[in-house]
Copies of this chain bind each other. A is one copy, B any other.
């Protein structure tokens, strides 16, 4: 059994076709046929059911593919181990970002980062906190940006910035006339929330819980984007809360609806998180430096009270 053979198996399993898999692996089709046959012979099982069109995995085949993924994955980390030691900043870097951070933070640092570290090939994915934790632990991500603290034993956190919550209040709302708002002013029943799965939603709920136990009505409008929430808010359906960086993109007209909290303002903690194995720590360091440098200009320091995202 060789790593090459396993890669061939993975390619064929993915494309369900020897010829296409051969192209992708830059060898000829007979090479794949023979090497896979050799592996099947060695293990004394059939990995593929070639009678089906397109080709299918056998039931053992599926398990073998899983194990092959493990092996190939681990083998690809060998180069990371070496890069780590050399202090080389480059190679593939897979990073996950939660949806409520993605659109504001990404444009801010992406250009700077890629021009400063051209050898790093970024692969960015928008993922929920839950998916991020899972993928970090499985080794499918090198790092992620998420709201913290997460209290995950095998994941390290490095705080990038504290992002205050800002109220967005429609003119009809009871809080519109106030200059500054307090967390005790909030009532979960008239706050528009993001849909389930967003940790910013959970943060808001925690914030309200902290002041008073507001009952969550069965019927409540929820949306996947802040833009929609703002529009719904204008329809008089209630106020909403935005993360500070999002408020920077609003029109002047919209800015008039913003109401900041009295200090200490409730805020979310946004961190770069990564597995304790600390592979690619140099790239993580580099990204930390770039992002915190940029955000330092965008968020003035203030006294905040961190709201848990979970």
**A residues neighboring B (CB under 8 Å):** 1-4, 43-45, 59-60, 63-64, 66-68, 70-71, 74-75, 77-79, 81-82, 84-86
Contact = CB atoms under 8 A, between A and B. Distances in A.
Interface centre among A60, A64, A75, A86 (most CB of B within 10 A): A75
Nearest to A75: B71
A15 to B, nearest CB: 22
Contacts of A85: 45, 59-60, 63
B86 A64 contact: no
Contacts of A63: 81, 84-85
Given A67-B74, A74-B67, A75-B71, A82 B3 contact: no
A43 B75 contact: no
* Integer count of this chain's copies in the complex: 2
Given A71-B71, A74-B74, 8 more contacts: A45-B82, A45-B86, A63-B81, A63-B85, A66-B81, A67-B77, A68-B78, A71-B78
Contacts of A59: 85
27 contacts: A1-B3, A1-B75, A1-B78, A2-B2, A2-B3, A2-B4, A3-B3, A43-B78, A43-B79, A43-B82, A44-B82, A45-B85, A45-B86, A59-B85, A60-B82, A63-B81, A63-B84, A64-B81, A64-B82, A67-B74, A67-B77, A67-B78, A68-B78, A70-B74, A71-B74, A71-B75, A74-B74
A4 B85 CA distance: 23
A78 B43 CA distance: 9
Most buried by B among A67, A77, A86: A67
Contact of A81 (B3, B60, B77, B79): B60
Contacts of A66: 81
A67 B44 contact: no
A65 to B, nearest CB: 10
Nearest to A63: B81
Contacts of A79: 43
Contacts of A1: 3, 75, 78
Nearest to A59: B85
A227 to B, nearest CB: 39
Contacts of A81: 60, 63-64, 66-67
A40 to B, nearest CB: 10
A139 to B, nearest CB: 10
A31 B43 CA distance: 26
A82 B77 CA distance: 25
A246 B44 CA distance: 46
